[in-house]
Amino acid sequence: MNFSVWVAVLGGVLLTLALTSSWLRWLPVTTSAVCLLLGIVIGPSGLNLLKLSLENASLWMEHLTEVAVLFSLFVCGLKLRLPLRNKTWCIAFGLAGPVMLLTIIGVCLLLHWGLQLPWGPSLLIGAILAPTDPVLAALVQVNDAQDVDSVRFGLSGEAGLNDGVAFPFVILGLLLLHGDGSPGEWQDWVLRSLLWAVPAGLLTGYWMGRGIGRIALSLRIHNEDSTLGPNDYLTLALIALAYVAADAIGGYGFLSVFAAGLGLRQEEVKSTGVTQPPAEQLVQPVVGHQNVEPQDAVHGDTAQLQDSQVAAGIMMGDMLAFGSLVERAMEVFLVTLLGVVLIAHWDWRALWIGAVLFCLIRPLSVAVMPWGSLLSWPQRGLIGWFGIRGIGSLFYLFFALNHGLSAEVATVCTDITLSVLALSILLHGVSTQPMLARYEQLKKRKS
C-alpha cells in the first residue's frame, strides 16, 4: 500500500467527518465510533482500499500510539485546575489506583478461569485493558479548566494517571511470560517498576512544568512579547523534555507528561489567582494573534488584568488549542486503522469478556470504594459505566508485541484487545451522549 493511497484515504475520512459533523452531532454517536465503522468499510473486508499488517507495523504503531497518548495526557493535565489538596482529587486517585488494580485482577481471573489462559497472558491482557483512555474519553472529561464537576474531574484525573500506573503491571505480565521467577526479578520489579518509576515520573514532570512555565511567563512579561511567543513550540518542547527526563531516570514518561500539564496549570493559577477564572477565559486570545498588533490580539477586556494574567492566558489558550488539534487528528487516524484491521483480528470471546468488564468488573470496582459524600450513587453508576478503553490500550498492546511474545500469545493478546477496544468504542460511543445529557439535566434541576 503506497503512501499516496494512505494520504488519500485519510483525507477522505477527514472530509467525511468535516462535511457530516452538523448532522452527526444530533445523533447519539461519537466521532470515534464513526471512524471505527469507516475503517471497517475501507479495510480488506470492505472496499479493500487500505491494508495493514500489525506484525510488520507494530514498531511504528507503538510510537504513533505513544505520541497520541502523550498529547492527550498533556492536554488533560492542563485542564485540571483544582489544587492537589482539594478532596475532589481523591476520586481520581481512587479510580487510578484501587479501581484499576481491581480491574486488572478481575480481568486476569476471568481470562485464567474462563478461557483457561496461563497466568502470564491473563495478567498481561488485564493490564492492557485496565486503563481508561484520555484520547477517546473527551466527552466525559472536563470541558475546560473551570469545570470541577465530580464525575468529569474524576474521570479526567483517572485517564491522566492510569495510563502510567498500568505500566508496572504490563511489565509484570511480561515478567511472568519471560522471567525465571527468581526473587531478584520480583525485587527489581517492586523497587524499580513500582516504587521508583511512578513517583519519579510524577515529580519530574510536575516540577518541570512549573519551572518551565515560570521561566516562560517571566521572559514574556519582561520582553513584552506575550502575544508573539510561539506557544506551540513550548507545548512540543515540554512534552518531549518531560518524557525524556523521566525516562532518563527510570520514571514513566506518561505520568511525567501528565504531571507537566498539571504543573504548568498551577503556574497559571499562581499568576491569575485561585479565585479567578482560568486566565485563557479572561484573556480570550484571538486566532493568529502573533500576526496582529498586541492591542488586537485578545477578545477579553485586559485593561484590569495584570501582565502576568495576560501572558498566562495567551500561553494556556494556545497550548490547549494546539494540543487538542493534534489529539483529535491522532484519534481519527488511529481509530480508523483499528477499524481496518478489526475484522481480521475479531475474536467472538470478546463479547462476553467485554460484557463482564464493562457491566460487572468496572462498576463493582467503583461501587466498593468508600467514596463517602464525594460521589452520590447515581454518580458512581456513571463513573462505573464510563470506563472507556482506547488508544492507551493500543499502545500497551504494541509495546508487548515488540517485547518478544510468542506467536500464540501475541495472537491471543492482539485479537482479544482489539475486539474489546472496538466494543468499548461502539458501546460507550452510542451511550455517552444520552447519559451525559440526562446527567446534566438532573444537575440543573437540583441547582
Q: List pLDDT tens digits, range 77-113.
A: 999 999 999 999 999 999 999 999 999 999 999 999 9
What pLDDT, on a 0 to 100 scale, did the predictor assign at position 77? 96
**pLDDT band, residue 443 (cuts 50/70/90):** confident
Mean pLDDT of 40-47: 92
Mean pLDDT of 238-260: 98
Is a pLDDT exceeding 90 seen at residue 9? no
Lowest mean pLDDT among 60-69, 282-291, 305-314: 282-291
pTM more than 0.75: yes
Average pLDDT, the chain: 91
| Own/partner pairs, 9-17, CB within 8 angstroms, 24+ separation | 9/42, 9/49, 9/50, 9/336, 10/332, 10/333, 10/336, 12/42, 13/38, 13/42, 13/332, 13/336, 14/332, 17/332
What pLDDT, on a 0 to 100 scale, did the predictor assign at position 227? 66
Is a pLDDT exceeding 80 seen at residue 371? yes
What pLDDT, on a 0 to 100 scale, did the predictor assign at position 149? 93
Is a pLDDT exceeding 80 seen at residue 2? no
Q: Is 252 left (phi over 0), alpha (psi -120 to 50) or beta?
A: beta
**pLDDT band, residue 134 (cuts 50/70/90):** confident
What pLDDT, on a 0 to 100 scale, did the predictor assign at position 278? 92
**pLDDT band, residue 423 (cuts 50/70/90):** very high
Who has greater pLDDT, 307 or 300?
307
**pLDDT band, residue 290 (cuts 50/70/90):** low
Cα distances from 38 to residues 14, 17, 35, in angstroms, run 11, 10, 5
What pLDDT, on a 0 to 100 scale, did the predictor assign at position 140? 86
Is a pLDDT exceeding 80 seen at residue 318? yes
Mean pLDDT of 284-302: 64
Is a pLDDT exceeding 70 seen at residue 332? yes
pLDDT per residue as tens digits for the range 164-209: 999 999 999 999 999 887 888 999 999 999 999 999 999 999 999 9
What pLDDT, on a 0 to 100 scale, did the predictor assign at position 126? 98
**pLDDT band, residue 275 (cuts 50/70/90):** confident
Lowest mean pLDDT among 134-143, 324-333, 372-381, 420-429: 134-143
Query: Which residues touch 50 (CB under 8 Å, ≥6 apart)?
Result: 1, 5, 6, 9, 39, 42, 43, 44, 340
SS3 of residue 285 by DSSP: strand
Is a pLDDT exceeding 90 seen at residue 272? no
What pLDDT, on a 0 to 100 scale, did the predictor assign at position 25? 73
**276 grid coordinates:** 479567578
**pLDDT band, residue 49 (cuts 50/70/90):** confident
Taking a C-beta distance cutoff of 8 angstroms, is the pair 250, 200 a contact?
yes
Domains, the chain, ranges and CATH?
A: 54-446 (1.20.1530)
What pLDDT, on a 0 to 100 scale, did the predictor assign at position 274? 84
What pLDDT, on a 0 to 100 scale, did the predictor assign at position 397? 98
Which residues lie across from 285 on neighbouring strands? Answer: 298
pLDDT per residue as tens digits for the range 208-217: 999 999 999 9
Mean pLDDT of 227-235: 83
Mean pLDDT of 386-398: 94
Is a pLDDT exceeding 80 seen at residue 294? no
Query: Which residues touch 244 (CB under 8 Å, ≥6 apart)?
Result: 253
HSE-CB of 54 using CA atoms within 13 angstroms: 27
What pLDDT, on a 0 to 100 scale, did the predictor assign at position 1? 58
What pLDDT, on a 0 to 100 scale, did the predictor assign at position 380? 96
